[in-house]
């Protein structure tokens, strides 16, 4: 069964989070200026202050609810997902999988562009039916008691798409951990996948004039950043 879902975090929950952030014992945390041992101390304090003084959760909550949110039970897990239907009469389902750590919000800017390209200078026949699940244990999906691993998650997503949504042919787009889902977990549904798009994001701290090595087709290419 698929049920519409609306995100509504109680004010009491928000106030409890704010209280915990405000009362965090910063003196117990070593003041390290750099990023060698994790998040920069001063940066973390600054962003924590922003969370409790300026960040408007309700505004962002409304942003999430501007999409069509649903929940469905898959092997005892209430899986949260977003669906954005295209007006393309021949549209195909495009499954977007977020990374770790991550959430469905990674795709908010591209969901309307992929579903409704005609609104952004594209053609309506290029639109997809977008499906964006929160992976088990992430976001608004049911918290998990123990790690599932890519293989198990792949099987859950297979059942979610084929049994719950009755989707037979899938186009898949993955970020980060989605690469592992392809290699390990989605073997069970490879017959249902017609195309795969992979994006793994890396942070490159490079400056102008710096040379880096990029491999392409087994060959090393020297690139100068201008």
The strands making up 129-133's β-sheet, listed across from edge to edge, are: 2-4, 68-74, 77-84, 129-133, 93-97, 170-175, 193-199
Lowest mean pLDDT among 68-72, 97-101, 129-133: 97-101
Shared domain check, 94 and 41? no
Of the residues 31, 66, 101, the one at which a domain ends = 66
| Average pLDDT score over the chain | 79
Of the residues 42, 66, 90, the one at which a domain ends = 66
User: For a pLDDT cut of 70, what percent of the chain falls above it?
Assistant: 74
Shared domain check, 216 and 135? yes
Query: For 29-43, what is the mean pLDDT?
Result: 83
Report the pLDDT value the prediction gives residue 187, as an integer from 0 to 100.
45
Query: For 101-122, what is the mean pLDDT?
Result: 92
Shared domain check, 30 and 91? no
Q: What is the CATH number of the domain that holds 112?
A: 3.40.50.1820
């Amino acid at each position: 069964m698929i049920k519409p879902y609306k995100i509504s975090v109680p004010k009491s929950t928000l106030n409890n989070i704010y209280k915990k952030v405000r009362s965090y014992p910063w003196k117990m945390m070593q003041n390290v200026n750099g990023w060698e041992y994790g998040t920069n101390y001063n940066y973390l304090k600054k962003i924590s202050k922003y969370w409790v003084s300026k960040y408007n959760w309700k505004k962002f909550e409304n942003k999430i609810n501007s999409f069509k949110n649903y929940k469905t039970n898959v092997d005892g897990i209430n899986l949260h997902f977003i669906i954005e239907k295209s007006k393309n009469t021949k549209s195909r389902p495009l499954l977007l999988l977020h990374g770790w750590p991550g959430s469905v919000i990674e795709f908010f800017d591209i969901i309307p562009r992929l579903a409704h390209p005609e609104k952004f200078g594209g053609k309506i026949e290029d639109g997809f039916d977008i499906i964006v699940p929160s992976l088990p244990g992430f976001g608004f999906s049911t918290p998990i008691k123990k790690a599932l691993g890519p293989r198990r998650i792949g099987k859950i997503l297979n059942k979610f798409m084929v049994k719950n949504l009755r989707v037979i042919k899938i186009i898949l787009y993955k970020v980060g951990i989605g690469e592992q889902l392809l290699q390990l977990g989605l073997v069970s549904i490879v017959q249902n996948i017609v195309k795969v798009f992979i994006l793994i994001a890396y942070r490159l701290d490079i400056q102008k004039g710096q040379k880096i090595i990029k491999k392409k087709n087994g060959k090393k290419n020297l690139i100068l950043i201008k």
